[in-house]
Amino acid sequence: MDTRTIRSSLIILFIIVSCSGPHSNRDSIREISLAGPDTSLKSSTLPVPPLLRDLSQDKKRAQYELVVQRGSTEFFSGTSAATYGYNGNILGPTLRAKRGQEVIIRVRNRLREYTTVHWHGMLVPGNMDGGPHQVIPPDGEWRVRFRVSQPAATLWYHPHGLGTTAVQVYRGLAGLFIIDDSISDRLPIPSEYGKNDIPLIIQDRRFSSDGVPLYLTGMRDIMEGMKGETILVNGVIKPFLRVSATRYRFRILNGSNARVFDFKLSTGGTFYQIAADSGFLHRPHLTRSIRLSPGERAEILVDFSSFKEGDTLRLVSDYFTILEMRVGAKSSDPTSIPATLAPRASLPLSAVRRTRVFHLEGMGHMVSINRKQMDINRIDEYVKKGDTEIWTITSSTRGMMGMGMMRGTGGIVHNFHAHGIHFLILDRNGTPAGPGEQGWKDTVLLDEGERVRVITRFLYRGIFMYHCHILEHEDNGMMGQFKVD
Instruction: Write down the architecture of domain 44-185 according to CATH.
Output: Sandwich (2.60)
Task: Work out the pLDDT band at 412, boundaries 50, 70, 90.
Answer: confident
Of the candidates 80, 87, 78, the one whose C-alpha atom is nearest the C-alpha of residue 213 is: 80
pLDDT in tens, 64-85: 999 999 999 999 988 999 999 9
Say which CATH superfamily domain 197-327 falls into: Cupredoxins -  blue copper proteins (2.60.40.420)
CB within 8 Å of 247: residues ≥ 6 apart: 189, 190, 196, 301, 302, 303, 304, 305, 333, 335, 336, 337
Compute φ and ψ for 475, nearest 5 degrees.
-65, -25
Distance CA 334, CA 168 (A): 41
Distance CA 196, CA 194 (A): 6
Taking residues 92-117, report their average pLDDT. Answer: 98
User: Where along the chain do its domains lie?
Assistant: 44-185, 197-327, 349-484
Residue 58 has pLDDT above 50, yes or no: yes
Residue 126 DSSP class = G
Strand order in the sheet with 462-467: 381-383, 479-484, 462-467, 414-418, 443-446
Helix or strand (DSSP H, E) at 222? helix 219-224
Residues 32, 37, 38, 44, CA torsion sign = negative
Residue 26 has pLDDT above 80, yes or no: no
DSSP 158-169: E---TTTHHHHH
Q: Collapsing DSSP states into helix, strand and coil, what is residue 35?
A: coil
Distance CA 244, CA 343 (A): 31
Distance CA 91, CA 96 (A): 16
Of the candidates 447, 404, 415, the one whose C-alpha atom is nearest the C-alpha of residue 429 is: 447
- Please, are residues 93 and 115 in contact by the beta-carbon 8 Å criterion? no
Distance CA 276, CA 284 (A): 11
CB within 8 Å of 402: residues ≥ 6 apart: none
Distance CA 244, CA 342 (A): 28
Task: Work out the pLDDT band at 450, boundaries 50, 70, 90.
Answer: very high
Per-residue pLDDT at 451? 97
Per-residue pLDDT at 397? 79
Residue 357 has pLDDT above 70, yes or no: yes
349-484 CATH, one of 2.60.40.420, 3.40.50.2300, 3.30.420.40, 3.40.50.150: 2.60.40.420
